[in-house]
Structures are given as C-alpha cells and as structure tokens.
Structure 1
Amino acid sequence: MEVANTENAEENSEIDEDVRATEKVINAFFYYKTYGKEKILKMVDQMRKIPPAHQLIIGPRYKEHIRNITQMMDHNHTVIRMIVNFGVTMFGEESLKAMRIHQARRPTADYMSKVLSTIRQICREWTEEGRPEREATFLPIIEELDKLFPREHCQRHLIRIMVPGCGLGRLACDLINEGYTVQGNEFSLFMLMTSNFMLNACKIENQFTIYPFIFEKSNTWSYEDQERAVTFPDKCPDQDVRRNSFSMCAGDFLEVTRNSTFDVIVTAWFIDTAHNILQYIETIYNTLEPNGIWVNVGPLTYHFEDSPDENSIELPYTEVIRFIREKGFEVITERRVESKYTVNRQSMLQNEFTCAFFTARKI
C-alpha cells in the first residue's frame, strides 16, 4: 500500500489541470454513496433522540423507509458508476488518467450539489416526469423554428444550429429529430459525462431506473413520494442514418465559437450563466451568419452573483434587450413564458420562473 501511494503522489505532481479537473468530478460522483450513508445515519440518530413514546408511533414506518432509501441509494450509486465508467472509456486518455490517480475523499459542498443536480437533470431532460418542463420551454423553441423554417419550404439539414449550455442534450436531440443539423456545446464535466451516457449508452426506452427524491425530506406528502422511481430515457436518441448530423463540443462557449458560424443559435436557460452577459451577446452576434436567428428562453438567475471570487455583471432584462438591439439584432418575437426547473412534481414546494422568450435576427 505504501508503494502504491508513493507512485500516486509522484504521478499527481506531474498531471495537468484538465486531468485534475476530471478527477475532481469523478471523485464527487463516486462519493454519492458515502454522502447518502451520512444522510441516512443522521436520520437514524435523530430517531434515537426523540422520546420513546414518539419512536413507538412513527418508528416502524420510519425504519421501513430507511431500509427502502438505503437500497435505492445503492441503486442510484450503481447507475452513477455506470455513467462514469462509460464516460471514461469514451473520453480517452485524460479520463483514464484521472481514474488512475483518483483517491477517494470528501468533495466540496458545491461539487456534491452538482452530483445531486445532475440526477435531477436526468429527470428533467430524459424522463416522463420532466415532460411538462420540457414542453414549457423546449416546445416554444421548436414551434418558433417551425414558423421560420417550414419543412415544405426549406432543406432543414442545411440549417446549422448551435445549442450552447445544452446540458444532457435533450433539446439538441429534439432539434435533430426536427431535421436540423445541430451542434451541442457544454462546459460542465458533470453534464458532459452524463450526456455522453444518455446519447450513446441508452438503446432502449426506459432502460434505466433512478430514485431522484430519496433525500428530499421537507415539503413531502408521503414516504411513497420520496421513494418513487423514474425511468429513462423516455425516448431513445435517434441513431438512424439521416442527412442532418449531430455533434457535441466540449468547452467554454466564448472559446469554442471563435472559428465557427451557425445559421441559428438556441439558448435555453443559458445566458444567465455568463460572468458578463454582454460578452455572450457579442459572441452570439459574431457567431451567427448574416440574417442568422437567435432564439432564447430562460430567466436571469445570474449564476455567479453570490460568488465572492468570481466577477459577475447582473443586468435587468430591459438593459439586456436594449443591448441586444444596439448590437445589431432585430427582435422579432418577445414574450413571457412560465416554467419550472427540475422540480419534484409531488412536492409541496413548486417554484416557477417567468422566463424571457425572444427571437432575434442578426441584421
């Protein structure tokens, strides 16, 4: 054991930042089971601290619930390991090296939160449970593009669409099924590993099962709601040979677009991920072909607003849309769309966003 640790330490001193970043993501994914055990042990300890008379009343069903979620946690962990292991085989030497140097440890709270949100993102994008959320914001995009590029009047496979911040790839896949040529772009390694699994490992509808809500203890109606399963994918990514193509591009949107142009850019729940939203708008303008179309939907929940070490410019919608026009866009559609985001449909708490939906043409 001492020799192995020495070898890992020597290798660690020579690895590059990309490998380190990948290893941190792998470590967070693999820590899920330990995280779950800690949550369950706390539940057991809390039960022991209440009066015996109260234990007698709620104890039997409580203990059954703990047994159930322990099994479900184990199952979730198995699915997570499948996602990571499949990703490592697909992503090449960088991921393989990250696996070799991996040493289990507690991830940051932020990284653990990203693991849990990735599970919820599976539910949002690739299950029947998430269909209402997709219909609220993905469907208006598809309908808007239908008006601009009717099938009977254009060759859709020649229309190149970019979807930055594409998450687990569902919107990009839906656009592929509409006949367009699509490139998805994503920066998060959590999303990239999981989208890779969704797009390349899922061959049968509802092939896999997860339990996304087992650690949600507040605002629940019943143990059954917490324990309910969801299956994925509700629809298999289309592997048929077709005239249009689909590709994924990993990296920072501001960097990967430097030598590319597209006919359409679709931003769904994306523009508020910017440190400086004006840079995103300028990049979208520069990446579009003349007369190119930008379709946007989403709120302005600026991701770096409360990050002490990150720069963040937070503008209201009126200033954002003013800059869009001043940059050289003609705003041709503008309205508000109500939508939820990764909510538990059976929860007492149902947060809803009023999203900005607009279509703009580069002029």
Structure 2
Amino acid sequence: MDNTAQMYGEISLKHVNRNELQRALHAFRRYRISNQQKFVAPRLSHFVSLPLHQQEALCQPSISHVDNIKRVATAIDENHKLAFAIAEHGSALLSFPVTDESDKCGPDDEDGDAIVRSTLRQLYRDFSEEGSLERDICHQTIMQDLAYAFAGEPFEERRRVLVPGAGLLRLPLNLRLAGYEVEANEVSHHQLLASLYILNRAETDPQHTLYPWALTFSNHVSRGDQFSTVSVPDVRPKSLIANSAGADTLLKVNMNDFVVEYSKPCYKGSFDAVTTLFFIDTAPNLLDYIATVSHCLEAGGVWINVGPLLWNCYENGPAGRHEGDVDDDISCKMRHRLALGDSKDFGPQKLEFSNDEVLNLLQHFGFVVEVQHRCVGQAGFIANPRSMLHNMYQLSHWVARKRLWDTE
C-alpha cells in the first residue's frame, strides 16, 4: 500500500494500492480481446453450428444475424479505443510500465473484465449529455442543500466537503467548481483510472464515441437500440477547473477504505459537510458508516444523502434476480471485498434497514434530521432509456445535522 500523497495536476491522490492498480490497468488494456472472446466468438460459433435452413432464416435482411454480430465486434473496437487510452494515460501518469494487452489472464481477470465494462458504462451516467437524466436530480438536490446549509457565509471561506463512494468523480467535480474544498473517497482503482483520464481532458482533445449497451443483448425493442452511442466527456473538467474560483485548490482523492481512513484521529471534525450519493447501502455495517461520518464531521456540520437502499447489491441487483448481465454486480462485489480488506467473509451482510430505521439510527447516534423525503424523485442507475426493462429507484433524501455537543 502506498500511503503517501501524490500530486497529479489538479488532483492529489492518497493510498493508491499498486497491486489493485496494476490489475485495473491490465483489465483496461485487454478490453478488446476479452470481449471478443466472451461476446463475439461464441455467437459466431453457435451460428455456424445451426442447421442450414436456420442459418438462412437468420441471414434474411430483416434479421441479418451475422451482420449484428459484426456490429458488436465494431462496437467493442470503438470502446477499446477509450479503454486503452485510459490505461495508457494511467500508466504514464502513475509511472506504471505498459504491458502487452494479450498477456495471459490471471485467476481474477474475468472479474476485472466485468468491472471495466461496468466502469465504461458508468461514463454514460457521469460524463455524457444523455446521462444527465439520471444524475441531475441527485446532483442538483445535493448542491441546493449545501447552498442552503452555508447561506450567508463568506464565499472566501470555502467549506470542506467529503464525498465517500465518489465513483467517477462527477459530483466532486461539480462541488469543486461551485467553490467548495472537496475530498473524494473511492476504493475502485478502475474508476480512479477512468476519472484521471476524463479530468485531464483538454479543450483540444477529441471526444470518444461510447457504445454503452452494445454488450447487452436482452430487452431491445429495435436492434439499433443496442448500438446507440453517446459522446464522452460532455464537459472539459481541466479547463473548467482552471477557470473556476480558487483554481489553486486541488481536488483530493483518497483511495483507502472509508471507515478505516476517516475514523483516524487526524480526521476528527475535519469536514463541514459529508455528501453520500448511492452510497450508504454499500455498507457492510451501516452503524460503522454513521460513526465514521460523526467522527469526521464537525459539530453542527451536515450530512446530505440521496439514494436507494439496495443492500447486498451483488445478491439483490439485476443479476441476482436474473434480469440482465452481471457486470455491475461483480463491480459491487469487488467494492465489498476491498471494504472487508483481509477478511475472508465475502458473504451477504446481515444488517439491512428500512428508510425509517436509518433515520432512527441517525437520531440515536447524535444527528438531528432536518429534511427528509422518502422519495425526492426517481432515477435509474446506468439504465438504457430505450430498454424494455427499467429498474427505477425511489430516491430517499435526507439532511442530518450533527449536534453541537460532541457525542463521541
């Protein structure tokens, strides 16, 4: 574990795990070969095994089955340009040697490949214009809450905000551009690599074409829906940060486990606000999350939360219900594994709470719930808007303030 803070342009990194980073780099580099093997080759092999009359039926112009498989291969090639660019950028920035993308895969590479697919799809949510339908209600709610919490205070006194489970850093970026001093916490090194690449895009850099749904074969009304594209990124973070107020303030990213890191004595009362977005239900033990937020939040500070309560996401998510691919659930399981550290207990957690119970626990542990909406709105999570299957979350929203007296 690298425990030293490292500076990269507008970002300060801390606790980068070199083994996890090397694994993530390898998975990005082998995007083309792994997905050709998983999605293209088996379908072509199955097609040629069919009786000739069935092959003929599938080759009629209204179906064009083989052409569709070729379109999948083309989409993989296009996505690979983005995946490989992320790996190249990360290798150069973090001083990692470039390895051959055709290296033989290790025992965990299949999971790594799935996490890369999930990460690229999340670029749709966080850094495409189309993804704003999912993220805007969440980000705007949090921004409004922060503005209200700090209304009337001098702008020069930028407030310190912690964002656990920061993902691809779009929310921390928006908060940074709004003038807050932001620290993001994220355990996924795959998402770190994608974030570093996107956040360093210059005005002159071309956008990437992303096929977010090309490897999803179910629930399409039209085959063209599978091959719809988006352009990423929709903003140029490097230029926006350079032109923003307080441009000398770095966006800090801490890669250590949330509870382990922010329970340390050095973080006691360090933040004016904590914002959690689609995060609290990732807790192996929510009571630990509550205690950690209470520890690192100053007395009178606010905790703002927006999101669902999908406990055990890799058991209860779409793949757990056999409603789609497993990539996002594998990514969730990876986060759970990293959160548990060296523990061998990777099974489902045993503490799952209703929304009312969460609010009661907050009050028990010294928070005053000032705002609560059982549903501030609806949103999917990396959901194809044209799909025949829509998983929509009723987004719980609350603002809790830490009492002025210390409860620890």
The bucket for the TM-score relative to the shorter chain is 0.7 to 0.9
> 1:100, 1:40 → 2: CA distance?
21
In terms of mean alpha carbon deviation, does 99-108 or 217-226 score higher? 99-108
1:162-181 equivalences in 2 (<5 Å):
162-181=162-181
Aligned partner (choices 315, 320, 324) of residue 352 of structure 2: 315
Conserved? CA contact 1:166–1:186, under 8 Å: yes
Q: 1:204 to 1:353 in 2, by over 3 A?
A: farther
Residue in 2 that maps onto 1:127: 128
Q: Deviations over 1:240-269 (max 9, x none)?
A: 253263222222112332223110000101
Residue in 1 that maps onto 2:329: none
Matched, 1:346 2:382: no
Q: Which runs of 5+ in 2 are unaligned?
A: 1-15, 316-332, 334-343, 404-408
Code of the residue aligned with 1:28 in structure 2: it is A
Q: 1:202 to 1:251 in 2, by over 3 A?
A: farther
> 1:205, 1:103 → 2: CA distance?
29
> 1:305, 1:275 → 2: CA distance?
12
Code of the residue aligned with 1:315 in structure 2: it is E
Q: 1:19 to 1:159 in 2, by over 3 A?
A: closer
> 1:192, 1:346 → 2: CA distance?
29
> 1:156, 1:206 → 2: CA distance?
35
> 2:211, 2:103 → 1: CA distance?
27
TM-score normalized with structure 1 length: 0.86
Residue in 2 that maps onto 1:55: 55
Describe the SS at the equivalent of 1:23: helix
> 1:304, 1:223 → 2: CA distance?
29
Q: For residue 228 of structure 1, report the CA deviation from its aligned partner.
A: 1.6
Q: 1:171 to 1:57 in 2, by over 3 A?
A: same
Describe the SS at the equivalent of 2:302: strand
Runs (4 or more) in structure 1 with deviation over 6 Å come to: none
1:290-309 equivalences in 2 (<5 Å):
290-303=299-312, 306=315, 309=345
Residue in 2 that maps onto 1:30: 29
> 1:162, 1:324 → 2: CA distance?
18
Residue in 1 that maps onto 2:259: 254
1:57-136 equivalences in 2 (<5 Å):
57-59=57-59, 60=61, 61-92=64-95, 95-96=96-97, 99=99, 103-105=103-105, 107-136=108-137
Code of the residue aligned with 2:356 in structure 1: it is T
Calculate percent identity across the aligned residue pairs.
Answer: 29
> 1:224, 1:129 → 2: CA distance?
17
Residue in 2 that maps onto 1:243: 246
Conserved? CA contact 1:205–1:236, under 8 Å: no
> 1:275, 1:108 → 2: CA distance?
24
Residue in 2 that maps onto 1:19: 18
> 2:225, 2:100 → 1: CA distance?
39
Matched, 1:196 2:234: no
Describe the SS at the equivalent of 2:215: coil
Q: For residue 57 of structure 1, report the CA deviation from its aligned partner.
A: 3.3
Q: How many residues align?
A: 343
Higher helix share: 1
Code of the residue aligned with 1:351 in structure 2: it is N
Q: For residue 202 of structure 1, report the CA deviation from its aligned partner.
A: 4.9
> 2:202, 2:184 → 1: CA distance?
18
Matched, 1:284 2:293: yes
Q: 1:99 to 1:267 in 2, by over 3 A?
A: farther
Q: 1:166 to 1:37 in 2, by over 3 A?
A: same
> 2:393, 2:241 → 1: CA distance?
34
Q: 1:102 to 1:75 in 2, by over 3 A?
A: closer
Conserved? CA contact 2:28–2:86, under 8 Å: no
> 1:304, 1:84 → 2: CA distance?
27
Q: Which runs of 5+ in 1 are unaligned?
A: 1-16
> 2:208, 2:157 → 1: CA distance?
31
Q: CA RMSD in A?
A: 2.5
Matched, 1:223 2:261: no
Code of the residue aligned with 1:350 in structure 2: it is H
Code of the residue aligned with 2:303 in structure 1: it is W
